[in-house]
Homo-oligomer: A and B are copies of this chain.
Amino acid sequence: MKADTLRGHLDALLLAVLDGRKLHGYAIIEALQLRSDGALDLPTGTVYPALRRLERAGWLASEWDVVSGRKRRTYRLTRSGEQALAAERAEWREFTSVIGGVLGT
């Protein structure tokens, strides 16, 4: 997959993978790999800043865990994050419908 095609959809992916569960950054990357059959392999330098950005936006909340001596920052969706996810899903449907319509399914 071309690199830039992801642009504008990263937030949706991160919110979706956190829907209904709490995960730390590294586990988020693995979960995205798993859910996409290996197609999505996001670098840490992409994911960690994005998570902090989403937290600043109020869509995620985080807390530090220490599991077997390792620090983990665990993220979860806030209420407004859930709303944002719903909005992102709606936008995704509109986006695919518009582009798909032009490309001719």
Chain A residues within 8 Å of B, Cβ to Cβ: 1-9, 12-13, 16-17, 19, 32, 35-37, 39-40, 88-89, 91-92, 94-96, 98-104
> Which residue from chain B places its CB closest to the CB of A94 in the assembled complex?
B1
- A64 CB to nearest chain B CB (Å): 26
Given known A-B contacts A39-B94, A94-B39, A103 and B7 have beta carbons under 8 A apart: no
Cα separation A19 to B32 with both chains bound (whole Å): 35
Asked, given contacts A5-B8, A5-B91, A8-B5, whether A35 binds B102 with beta carbons under 8 Å apart, the answer is yes
Say yes or no: A17 contacts B102, CB within 8 Å.
Answer: yes
Distance between A100 CB and nearest chain B CB, rounded to angstroms: 7
